[in-house]
Amino acid sequence: NAGVTQTPKFQVLKTGQSMTLQCAQDMNHEYMSWYRQDPGMGLRLIHYSVGAGITDQGEVPNGYNVSRSTTEDFPLRLLSAAPSQTSVYFCASSWGGVREQYFGPGTRLTVT
Partner 1 sequence: KNEVEQSPQNLTAQEGEFITINCSYSVGISALHWLQQHPGGGIVSLFMLSSGKKKHGRLIATINIQEKHSSLHITASHPRDSAVYICAVLYGGSQGNLIFGKGTKLSVKP
What length does the chain have?
112
Using rule CB under 8 A, residue 61 touches partner 1: no
Interaction of residue 2 with partner 1, rule CB under 8 A: no
Our finding on whether 10 is near partner 1 (CB under 8 A) is no
CB 73 within 8 A of CB 24: yes
Is the CB of residue 1 less than 8 Å from the CB of residue 102? no
Distance separating alpha carbons of residues 47 and 35, to the nearest angstrom: 8
Among 23, 31, 74, 109, binds partner 1 (CB under 8 A): 31
Check residue 56 for interaction with partner 1 (CB under 8 A).
Answer: yes
Q: Which residues here bind partner 1, judged by CB under 8 A?
A: 31, 33, 35, 40-45, 48, 50, 56, 58, 88, 90, 92, 94, 96-103, 105-106, 108
